């Protein structure tokens, strides 16, 4: 397979295990989703004799561990970021299907349950050299087209700045925290999550209605030959004169997207309607950009939303992008499941 090929979005699907309520409601409700992980296939049953079949880069069953999910979905992107390229990992799906568990779970009681954010930071910390390299993060929330700093929530409505020469995207109004160890990333994510809940309570909305974005900046310095950009520097080339170090900056963006469920516009009014419109705008803009990449189209409509503007330099081009779509097992969500699967399919 074309693991981590730049310019193409890798798409995995993950099924959440049944929760207590679902188990209690019906011990053997008909499995309308059938996963064939070896074949990387998912079947969506239409009735007793007919099903639609979809293929993904990875099919992660309810038994897939967090480690397995990290390795399939995020590790290739993290490795490419360590080599100096930008990358994005996003989770898309209906509220309650496991986006936050997949990306943001802290696993403080059980380290095996840690999600992608902690694992990615741990991987980066393990591979960079503390004397010459650095890693720092900003943690943002995007709600109704406003960017808010989750580390210092008073920083709200922050501008997204694009360097006219390099095209690099930055959010200079947000706090940048340098990370030196795994404990500090866990603390920082916990703080960000607490601020996210508090900010949303104040706005009378739920965290599931905003996008949470962890922006990780990696700065590495490579010494040796010009082309020795990988950490394996060829020690046998004695003839090469040591040159001054090459500094490479790269960015990893981890996005826990707002719930993709369609809010019934007919029943919503005022603020709720505006909120629904804003989520629809950003997710559909994201969908259009992903489709454009999948179709190799020269026009990627990145400016249509703040979400896609934030992702501009970590999406397409030489950047690597991985999307995990999450679905639930309950047949009462089949409409949402089916639209989530179609979103994932259009990315391929
Ligand atoms: P979302 O962020 O998509 O709204 P959550 O990540 O909050 O969904 O998941 C909903 C609930 O299901 C949470 O209690 C979460 O811990 C649990 N959950 C989700 N995925 C898994 C999983 N793979 N294994 C165990 N529990 C899970
Ligand atoms: Mg969530």
Q: Where are the domains of the chain?
A: 9-346
The pLDDT score that the predictor gives to residue 215 is 98
Mean pLDDT of the residues in the chain: 89
The closest residue, in CA terms, to atom 11 on ligand 1 is 96
Q: Which of 135, 142, 147 is nearest to 188 (CA)?
A: 135
The closest residue, in CA terms, to atom 20 on ligand 1 is 98
The pLDDT score that the predictor gives to residue 8 is 79
The pLDDT score that the predictor gives to residue 274 is 86
**Domain 9-346 carries which CATH code?**
3.40.850.10
95 lines ligand 1 (CB under 6 A): yes
Confidence band for 30, pLDDT divided at 50, 70 and 90:
low
The answer to whether the beta carbons of residues 290 and 9 sit under 8 Å apart is yes
Render pLDDT for 142-182 as a digit per residue (tens, 0 to 9).
999 999 999 999 999 999 999 999 889 999 999 999 999 99
Residue 102 clears pLDDT 50, i.e. is over it = yes
Ligand of minimum distance to the alpha carbon of 115: 1
Quote the CA–CA distance of 211 and 218 in Å, as a whole number.
Answer: 22
17 lines ligand 1 (CB under 6 A): yes
The pLDDT score that the predictor gives to residue 297 is 83
For a pocket test of ligand 1, which of 68, 69, 72, 101 has the largest count of ligand atoms closer than 8 A to its C-beta? 101
Q: How far is the CA of 102 from the centre of ligand 2 (A)?
A: 9
Give me the DSSP letters along 109-149: S-GGG--HHHHHHHHHHHHS-TTT-EEEEEEEEEETTEEEE
Quote the CA–CA distance of 259 and 207 in Å, as a whole number.
Answer: 9
- Which ligand 1 atom is nearest residue 93's CA? 3
Mean pLDDT of the 318-336 span = 92
Confidence band for 298, pLDDT divided at 50, 70 and 90:
confident
pTM score, whole prediction: 0.92
Mean pLDDT of the 286-307 span = 89
Relative to beta strand 211-222, strand 169-170 is unpaired
Higher pLDDT among residues 334 and 251, named by residue: 251
The interface pTM score, or ipTM, of the predicted complex is 0.99
Residue 139 clears pLDDT 90, i.e. is over it = yes
Q: How far is the CA of 278 from the centre of ligand 1 (A)?
A: 24
Render pLDDT for 245-280 as a digit per residue (tens, 0 to 9).
889 999 999 999 999 987 665 566 788 888 888 888
């Amino acid at each position: 397979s074309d693991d981590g090929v730049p310019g193409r979005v890798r798409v995995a699907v993950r099924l959440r295990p049944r929760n207590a309520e679902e188990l209690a409601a019906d011990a053997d409700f008909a499995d309308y989703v059938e996963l064939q992980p070896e074949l990387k296939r998912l079947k969506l049953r239409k009735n007793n004799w007919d099903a639609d079949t979809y293929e993904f880069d990875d099919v992660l069953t309810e038994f897939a561990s967090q480690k397995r999910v990290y390795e399939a979905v995020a590790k290739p992107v993290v490795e490419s970021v360590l080599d100096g390229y930008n990358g994005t990992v996003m989770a898309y799906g209906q509220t309650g299907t496991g986006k936050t568990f997949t990306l943001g779970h802290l696993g403080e009681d059980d380290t095996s349950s840690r999600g992608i954010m902690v694992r990615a930071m741990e991987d980066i910390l393990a591979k960079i050299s503390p004397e010459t390299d650095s890693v720092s993060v900003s943690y943002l929330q995007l709600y109704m087209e406003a960017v808010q700093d989750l580390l210092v929530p008073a920083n709200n409505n922050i501008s997204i700045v694009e360097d006219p020469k390099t095209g690099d995207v930055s959010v200079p109004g947000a706090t940048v925290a340098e990370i030196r160890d795994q404990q500090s990333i866990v603390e920082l994510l916990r703080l960000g999550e607490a601020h996210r809940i508090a900010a949303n309570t104040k706005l009378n909305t739920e965290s599931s209605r905003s996008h949470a974005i962890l922006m990780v900046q990696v700065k590495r310095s490579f010494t040796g030959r010009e082309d020795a950009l990988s950490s394996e520097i060829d020690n046998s080339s004695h003839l090469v004169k040591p040159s001054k170090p090459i500094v490479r900056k790269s960015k990893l963006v981890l996005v826990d997207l707002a719930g993709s469920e369609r809010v019934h516009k007919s029943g919503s009014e005022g603020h709720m309607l505006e909120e629904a419109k804003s989520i629809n705008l950003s997710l559909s803009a994201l969908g259009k950009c992903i489709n454009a990449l999948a179709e190799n189209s020269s026009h990627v409509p990145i400016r249509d939303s703040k979400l896609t503007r934030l992702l501009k330099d970590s999406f397409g081009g030489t950047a690597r992008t991985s999307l995990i779509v999450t679905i639930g097992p309950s047949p009462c969500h089949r409409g949402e499941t089916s639209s989530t699967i179609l979103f994932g399919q259009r990315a391929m």
